[in-house]
């Protein structure tokens, strides 16, 4: 069990963070609109796990991502972007299925995505992935890969191996019913795996999709009751709540400017993980997550020119 005042004592491993999941195109509108009435959209690098891997690499820890893209121009664009950021792409598979895409209309609130899925759930449990899980301090995944049977099998194997290897597990419970087949109980499956994870970061919207409407404190308790060790709930402009099941702490947002909320949650994860690896307490890691999110909100697109860790904590005094 963890206490929010703990500094985590990681075993020495080659990789600080392994992310597994969707690598895709974000088509983001030029203008703000809440009804998807925009005519012009621009191609951006996307996919939460890959965003986190790039952000954390920029901040100064050793990250790698495992994913699958199509054998097409959009897949080339994504792999080239990873290469340009200095990322190891040895765990990025190529598929005959087309590269997946999400269409997002810019919003000052939570953007409403439209999903076009292809290669993203064709991730297989390769020998390279197996070796990397064993040799990583943290493995992270979202609800995307568990929403399809093929990649779900890969994630289930990854969870089992991570637990055997003393690799900590982070999970983003970003449930969207449109990602799941109609005959599958996505909510039930997500709830069933929460007991296996060490860190979970739901937004208020994520919690409402899973449990229905309730106050944040009650929502956090539901995650804890399902077996989560550390729950960080992001509250948008109202900051975050973090709990280890005994202690509950609230922090205000550090954001002063909002250009685009796409990727803000990924930026939070990035700051949080980097701070844990840098031997900060879990509470301090939450503060660094808020700083990284505040920095990202000033830029359009899921990836921003994230500063190195030392510059970020100095800029936001965390």
Which pLDDT does position 251 carry in this prediction?
Answer: 97
For the chain, which residues make up each domain, given as ranges?
A: 15-316
Strand partners, 67: 92
Which pLDDT does position 52 carry in this prediction?
Answer: 96
CATH topology of domain 15-316: 3.40.1190
Which pLDDT does position 111 carry in this prediction?
Answer: 67
> Are the C-beta atoms of residues 55 and 88 closer than 8 Å to each other?
no
Which pLDDT does position 302 carry in this prediction?
Answer: 73
Strand partners, 138: 17, 168
What separation in angstroms does the CA of 164 have from each of 10, 62, 143, 158? Answer: 15, 21, 22, 10
Phi, psi of 201 (to 5 degrees): -130, 85
DSSP state of 108: S
Distance CA 189, CA 11 (A): 30
Which pLDDT does position 258 carry in this prediction?
Answer: 83
Q: Compute how many other C-beta atoms are within 10 angstroms of the C-beta atom of residue 278.
A: 18
Which pLDDT does position 300 carry in this prediction?
Answer: 75
137 is written with which tokens? 């301090």
**Which residues of the chain are modeled with pLDDT < 50?**
none
pTM, 2 dp: 0.93
In this structure, the strands spanning 24-32 and 101-106 are: parallel
Which pLDDT does position 108 carry in this prediction?
Answer: 66
Of 302, 308, 254, nearest in space to 278 by CA: 308
Length of the chain: 318
> Are the C-beta atoms of residues 64 and 91 closer than 8 Å to each other?
yes
Per-residue pLDDT of 227-276, as tens digits, reads: 999 999 999 889 999 999 999 999 999 988 888 777 889 999 999 999 99
Backbone torsion region of residue 166, taken as left when φ is above 0, otherwise alpha when ψ lies between -120 and 50, otherwise beta: left
């Amino acid at each position: 069990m963890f206490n929010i005042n703990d500094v985590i004592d990681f075993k020495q491993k080659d990789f600080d963070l392994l992310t597994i999941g969707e690598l895709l195109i974000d088509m983001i509108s030029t203008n703000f609109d809440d009804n998807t009435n925009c005519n012009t959209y621009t191609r951006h690098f996307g996919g939460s796990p890959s965003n986190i891997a790039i952000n954390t690499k920029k901040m100064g820890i050793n990250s790698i991502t495992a994913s699958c893209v199509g054998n097409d121009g959009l897949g080339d664009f994504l792999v080239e972007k990873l290469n340009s950021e200095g990322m190891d792409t040895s765990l990025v598979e190529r598929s005959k299925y087309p590269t997946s895409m999400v269409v997002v209309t810019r919003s000052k609130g939570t953007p409403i995505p439209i999903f076009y899925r292809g290669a993203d759930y064709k991730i297989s449990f390769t020998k390279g992935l197996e070796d990397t899980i064993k040799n990583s301090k943290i493995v992270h995944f979202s609800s995307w890969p568990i929403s399809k049977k093929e990649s779900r099998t890969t994630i289930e194997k990854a969870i089992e191996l991570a637990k055997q290897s003393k690799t900590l597990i982070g999970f983003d419970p970003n449930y969207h019913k449109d990602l799941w087949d109609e005959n599958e109980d996505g909510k039930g499956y997500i709830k069933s795996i929460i007991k296996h994870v060490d860190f979970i970061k739901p937004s208020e919207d994520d919690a409402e999709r899973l449990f229905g409407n309730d106050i944040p404190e009650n929502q956090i308790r539901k995650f804890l009751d399902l077996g989560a060790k550390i729950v960080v709930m992001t509250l948008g402009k109202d900051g975050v709540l973090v709990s280890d099941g005994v202690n509950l702490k609230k922090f205000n947002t550090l954001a002063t400017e909002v250009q685009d909320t796409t990727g803000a949650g990924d930026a939070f994860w990035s700051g949080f993980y980097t701070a844990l690896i840098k031997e900060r307490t879990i509470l301090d890691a939450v503060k660094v997550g808020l700083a990284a999110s505040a920095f990202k909100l000033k830029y359009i697109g899921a990836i921003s020119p994230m500063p190195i860790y030392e510059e970020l904590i100095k800029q936001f005094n965390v």
